[in-house]
Amino acid sequence: MKLNKIFKWGMVVLILISLAILVWGFTAGFAEGNVAKQPTNVLLTWAAIMIGIALFCWIVIGLIISVANNPKSLVRMGIVVVGIAAVVLIAFLLAKGTPLPNPTVTATPGDLKLTDTILNLTLFAGVGAILAIIVGEIRLAIANKK
């Protein structure tokens, strides 16, 4: 019961921080020259922090619950983490990091490589979702026929 309250209030705090950053970004203005860089950078940094918190919670809480329920599931979770790391590595290796055609926008080669990696991961996730839907429907149709 106490753990549920901790999660509930932690989620409320994160939502309030996100809302405050969003309101600040809109009041500071996202589309006004150089001033727009600060709110945008803060929003992107906060999004990365939220993703990091989610991944940390998924791994740590999943680890605690899986060890408590079934110690052998720890191996399966390790395989999933290694699989995700392999997909991210493949996306990174496929990322070209070519310069932008717009000469007014400057980015470092590392930024370009990271952006291409994220785009590759988005592509992989989208294709994976579509394939999961197709395979799921085929399996459902086969299961209903029997």
Residue-level pLDDT at 33 = 55
Report pLDDT for 1: 56
Is this structure's pTM higher than 0.85? no
To which H or E segment does residue 97 belong?
none
Is residue 90 scored above 90 in pLDDT?
A: yes
Asked whether the beta carbons of 87 and 124 are under 8 A apart, the reply is: yes
pLDDT at 127 over 90: yes
Answer yes or no: are the C-beta atoms of 114 and 101 closer than 8 Å.
Answer: no
Please report, for the chain, the start and end positions of each structural domain, with discontinuous segments joined by +.
1-69, 72-146
Residue type, 83: G
Q: Which residues contact 36 (CB under 8 A, 6 or more apart)?
A: 29, 30
